[in-house]
Every structure is written in structure tokens, then in C-alpha cells.
Structure 1
Amino acid sequence: MWCLVLQVQRCLQSTQPVPAARLPYRVKLSAGKRYAWCACGYSKKQPFCDGTHKAKAPNISPLLFTPDKNKTVMLCACKQTKNSPYCDGSHLKVIYRDVVKYVKGLFK
């Protein structure tokens, strides 16, 4: 029985990040402060980690970073960026994919 519970838990755990939002988060960062950017998409404190990945996506760890100066940046919300934690425009692909899926659904 216990073995079955562990197998079900593993099936429910994500190995791929989920988009937290379709557009990036505009955030003011403080120099020298350590941040943990949510890489899995499950955090309720987006764009930062709240530890939810430990249960929902244990294979996806947050990205720790410390800015060298005070600045306002765009942090990725779609979790597809190649420049973590910063937005690189990948959300446009996510939005496009969603639109195509929606349009295809209209014609079924």
C-alpha cells in the first residue's frame, strides 16, 4: 500500500515548469540582496520561490541570484527563458502556442 502511495506521488510531481503568467514581472531589486527566483512556476509568491517546488516539482530548484546594483528588471513568468531569471521574450512563444490551441479548438 505504502509503495502505491509513493508511486502516485511521483506521478503527480512535475518534471517540467508550468507558466506562472503569460507576461514577465517588473521587479525592483536591491544590490547585495539574495533572491530565489521560482523556476517551477508553482510558487504563490511569483516571481520568487515559496518552497512549493519541494512537493510539486522536487526536480526543479529555484535560481538563487544576487544583483550587483539596485535596478528594475523584467523577471520571467512563463519559465521558458534561456536567460534565467530574466525575461528573454520566450513568453511570446507561449502566448502564440495558446492562441493556436484555442483557434484549433474552435474548429473541432
Structure 2
Amino acid sequence: MATPVRASNGPFAVQVEAGKDYWWCACGLSTHQPFCDGSHRAQGVFTPVKYSATRDTTVWFCGCKSTANAPLCDGSHKRET
């Protein structure tokens, strides 16, 4: 698997907590989107991306797995067919 699986046609809105780390699924195979559940291990190509929250807020994690700003959404899902 050279390209990630598109997990969603839009981003995932998540309430994050200051000081907490989140591991974003980069492969798209996780059943706990947008977060990693270890599914990438079977493919051996992708690794999860760490996001460290600096404040309590809503973060938009990429669901299409095409963002250039991983793990956050950059609107790439709007440009794809």
C-alpha cells in the first residue's frame, strides 16, 4: 500500500485538551479515526503523526489523508475528485 486509504470526505472535529498528545492515523486503516489503532503495522509503510495540544480547543484532523499539513486538515479533500 503506497498511498493511504481515504477515511473520510471531510475533516474530523475533535476537542483536544492542553498538554495531551494525540496520534493521528496516517494510513487510513484505523477503525478509531482519526486516531491510530496500530492498523498500519500490517502494511509497514505509514507511521502515525503526533499532535501535542497546547490549549483546550477544537482541532480539525484530516480525514482524506492528503493534507500537506499533517495531521491537520488543509482543505485537500475539497480539491480531490
Q: In the alignment, which residue of structure 1 is the partner of 2:50? A: 64
Which runs of 5 or more structure 2 residues have no equivalent in the other structure? none
| Correspondence for 1:38 among 25, 28, 34 | 25
Question: RMSD of the TM alignment (CA)?
Answer: 0.8
TM alignment of 1:46-57, pairs within 5 A? 46-55=33-42, 57=43
Question: C-alpha displacement at 1:23, in angstroms?
Answer: 0.8
Q: In the alignment, which residue of structure 2 is the partner of 1:100? A: none
Deviations 1:27-66 (A, max 9, x none): 10111111100000000000000000001x3110000121
**For the pair shown, which has the larger CA radius of gyration, 1 or 2?**
1
Q: In the alignment, which residue of structure 1 is the partner of 2:79? A: 93
Structure 1 position 27 matched with structure 2 position 40:
no
Greater share of strand: 2
Greater share of helix: 1
Identity percentage of aligned residues: 46
> Per chain length, whose mean CA-contact separation is higher, i.e. which structure has more relative contact order (CA < 8 Å, sep 6+)?
2
**TM-score, normalization: structure 1?**
0.72
Which runs of 5 or more structure 1 residues have no equivalent in the other structure? 1-13, 98-108
